[in-house]
Amino acid sequence: MVNRGIRGATTVTKNEENEILRETVVLLREIVERNDVIAEDICSVWITMTADLDATFPARAIREIEGWEMVPLMCSVEIPVKGSLPQCIRLMVQVNTDKSQRDIRHVYLNEAQKLRPDLSQSK
């Protein structure tokens, strides 16, 4: 078994607590579903948001999911590069798995599909 990183990103339409929490959960659930993982297999989740999002900590939403209470979570601000995608939430989910790097399914939702069109595919 090895540790693999699963990338994911999504966007919101406004800096609003409920939308940030909701879209964080939607993104995490897609990552979990597409990669067939469970919380017990997760080493940690690194969460970043662009500086224009400050209404809440997205980790709050993940901590409220049953079975995810003990998963280590860390929030940070994304590097503010000029011209980068605004209102973006990114996840790096580190998981223990037997899957190869090629078998990992990264998830890009909403406007974040522009970040990695090569990986932004339907289920």
User: Which of 78, 102, 105, 111 is labelled catalytic?
Assistant: 78
Contacts of residue 66, defined as CB under 8 A and 6 or more positions apart, other chains included, come to none
102 is catalytic: no
User: Which of 90, 102, 105, 111 is labelled catalytic?
Assistant: 90
Count of residues making up the chain: 123
The H or E element spanning position 90 is strand 88-97
4 is catalytic: no
User: Which of 19, 34, 60, 75 is labelled catalytic?
Assistant: 75
Rounded CA-CA distance 16/31 in Å is 23
33 is catalytic: no
Contacts of residue 70, defined as CB under 8 A and 6 or more positions apart, other chains included, come to 39
22 is catalytic: no
34 is catalytic: no
75 is catalytic: yes
User: Which of 16, 63, 64, 69 is labelled catalytic?
Assistant: 63
User: Which of 7, 34, 60, 105 is labelled catalytic?
Assistant: 7
78 is catalytic: yes
Contacts of residue 122, defined as CB under 8 A and 6 or more positions apart, other chains included, come to none
Could you give the residue numbers annotated as active site?
A: 7, 63, 75, 78, 90, 108, 116
